[in-house]
Amino acid sequence: MLIKLSKMHGIGNDFILSDDRKSSISNEIDYGTLAKKLCHRRFGLGADGFIVAVSSKTHDIGFRIFNSDGSEAEMCGNGIRCFSKYIYEKSILMQKIINIETKAGSIVPLLDINFEGVVELVKVDMGEPVFEGKQIPCTLKEGRIVSEKIEVLGNELEITAVSMGNPHAVIFIENDMEDSLFFKLGPAIENLEIFPKKTNVEFVKVLSENEISVRVWERGAGETLACGTGACACVAACVLNNKTSEEVAVRLKGGSLDIKWNRANNHIFKTGPAKFVYETALELERIKNDL
């Protein structure tokens, strides 16, 4: 069976996407197993994650995402923008507003479409940030975890824990982090016992009340050039720690996202681009034989 695949990225956070609303792929191979093969940057196509369009009984369409290590994530902010552009430009759903079912709940993107029918920007209602430790989950203490001190590999850090449907540990830094320290602390924090489902990790440098710089260690993928849910979590953490306003430009390695926390309804909105890289098709049986 030949499966059609699209390579896309959202400011450098890259994904492979496929349409499996008829379950023809899942009937042949586990999504997580397929993700590990497709996302491998030496022996596969290479990507941070594998995104699948699936059918939904309660929403316009369903979204599932698997990290490059084969683990399934609840949601992905950059991935949902790529997904929205994908389903519109592939004529799967020709709607400017899409109600998408994810493991983190309902996500509703609004598409900015030009006169040529190309999706230029996607604004996504990312829902409400969660700060209660049990719901993130983070077991460090009861209640909110804001600027709590922990020690990791001999380094004293202050973390603010936030969930945007997936867990995040936000750490504020004064100076740019050296690679050697980033690649030690990232995986160490991701796998701390206080995060039962592991965690994404964001190191945040505040540039002004309306601008921050973020470096991302993504759960199950390692360093990524961007993280949409992470950008939202960072802005929420900034506001909780009185470091920025509710509207912030988030500068990531792959580009920028505009984040707004609407305190009136407690929802966070994220706006940014998504791009196609290339299209391909692979024989599924050959992939299975290579496993």
CATH of 133-265, one of 1.20.1260.10, 3.30.1330.60, 3.10.310.10, 3.40.50.1860: 3.10.310.10
String of b and e for 78-95 (b: at least 16 CB within 10 Å)? bbbbbbbbbbbbbebeee
pLDDT, position 291: 59
What are the catalytic residues? 76, 227
The pLDDT tens digits of the residues spanning 197-247 come to 999 999 999 999 999 999 999 999 999 999 999 999 999 999 999 999 999
DSSP E strands in the chain: the ranges are 2-10, 13-19, 49-54, 61-67, 72-73, 100-102, 105-113, 119-125, 148-152, 155-163, 167-172, 200-208, 211-218, 222-224, 247-252, 255-262, 267-272, 275-283
Q: Where are the domains of the chain?
A: 2-127+274-290, 133-265
pLDDT, position 268: 97
Tell me whether domains 2-127+274-290 and 133-265 share a fold. yes
Sequence-distant (6+) residues with CB within 8 A of 258 are: 247, 248, 249, 250, 270, 271, 272
The pLDDT tens digits of the residues spanning 140-186 come to 999 999 999 999 999 999 999 999 999 999 999 999 989 999 999 99
d(CA 288, CA 291): 5
CATH architecture of the domain covering 2-127+274-290: Roll (3.10)
